[in-house]
Chain A
Amino acid sequence: MSGNMNLTLKVWRQKNGGSKGELVTYPVSDISPDMSFLEMFDVLNDQLVTEGKEPIAFDHDCREGICGMCSMHINGHAHGPKDQVTTCQLHMRSFKDGDTIVVEPWRAAAFPVVKDLVVDRSSFDRIIAKGGFISVNTGNAKDANNLPIPKVDADKAFEAAACIGCGACVATCKNSSAMLFVSAKVAQLSLLPQGKAEASQRVLNMVAQMDEEGFGSCTNTGACEVECPKGISIQNIAIMNKEYLKASVVSEQEAQ
């Protein structure tokens, strides 16, 4: 079909977490510009299986940009060259016939490679388990409208809550810092009146866990906010810094 492309892919192949990996070159042909990037990988994988070779492992699930599972570092960009899209929503019309595309896994000590392009992001879950919640048991809630929340606060909290936990911020940051991810949750909950009661404890515990996981520090380069597929703002990082300062200097709360 006209308009279809021939491309050269250089993909990171790594048998498992313990082995050494390398970039392997694969030519792909007759790629429709209407395909998503992952659909191109489906085509390549079917080709590999048919040839009796092992297909490339990569994470993906919803393929509509919301689950946060897909995670490729494409030509030096987390989720590829387009802003505010995940890899699954990146379409091949963003590339040209003859392009060489280098695809690597997220790189961070706290995101060890599991296989090929798949990394382990369970460190994010452990950070949330330390405080990314409001401690309210089922059945304890009062009527939802008993607690009016100014629209501007609700909207800001929502914007922070839009984080999909994909890890692009970590992948992009030159320090592999998880500050954007952690701060989005801290900011969301500290902006809402429901979340204020345990604000100090939350930020202290979550930061302690973040450090323990081996993420780097934030040096305010702002790259995370640019590559974030959901446009989470680094204003959230400032909010977290403030909350942390408040919690360590003013509050009598200690991390657990």
Chain B
Amino acid sequence: MHINWFKYSSPQTFYPLAGKMIPWFYGLAVLFALAGLYVSFALAPTDFQQGEAYRIIFVHVPAAWMSMFIYIVMAGWAAFGLALNARLSAMMAQALAPTGAMFTFLALVTGSLWGKPMWGTWWVWDARLTSELILLFLYLGFIALQSAIDDPRRSDRAGAVLALVGVVNVPIIYFSVKWWNTLHQGSTISMTAAPKMVTIMLLGMLFMALAFWMYSIAVALVRVRCIILERERSTEWVKNLFGEEK
């Protein structure tokens, strides 16, 4: 069977498809969040040195993962938009930015709340914390730049360049704890070594990460539908959709 993938690269055909997918992703997000919260707060044991306060990682770590991952996806869409002149790709990038910014903010705030009792400080200018703060500024800069230019084609292009330049920051965040002496601890979970954490804690974190993931997809699809309508408002199909009379 031959599937025409490009069929859904047009806003007109993608709009109803996204609408159909949204409830599924929201449903999965709720399921994973319930499972994740149950494992995190009811099943996972106390930590041997941090006591109960360590439980912030069930929000902090998935949020930090999402902040980096969403940026890469956003930059990827932006690159596609730039190279292929694809409108929908640019819209996807635009739709992802606020969610990415939110997760970055969440990671910074939860880390800070945890840092005060554990490290003894709200904030330090070490490489990990500083590069994550730069990520927040990149998201905010992307959003601001896009909304500052009225012409959508030009705003897409400007935003895409910013998103692509900023993508170098992501490996810097990820490897900062390896490359420099930082106050932030090294990675507990990495792609190359066994996790330095008991399985039940890991499970809670993975469920929460999946919940955040599903939520991000759902909310990005909701946002992209709004962007599609806003940008295509003068086209026939949008007018037909709302049964508007000329």
State whether these chains interact: no
**Hey, which bits of chain B sit against chain A, CB under 8 A?**
none
**Hey, which bits of chain A sit against chain B, CB under 8 A?**
none
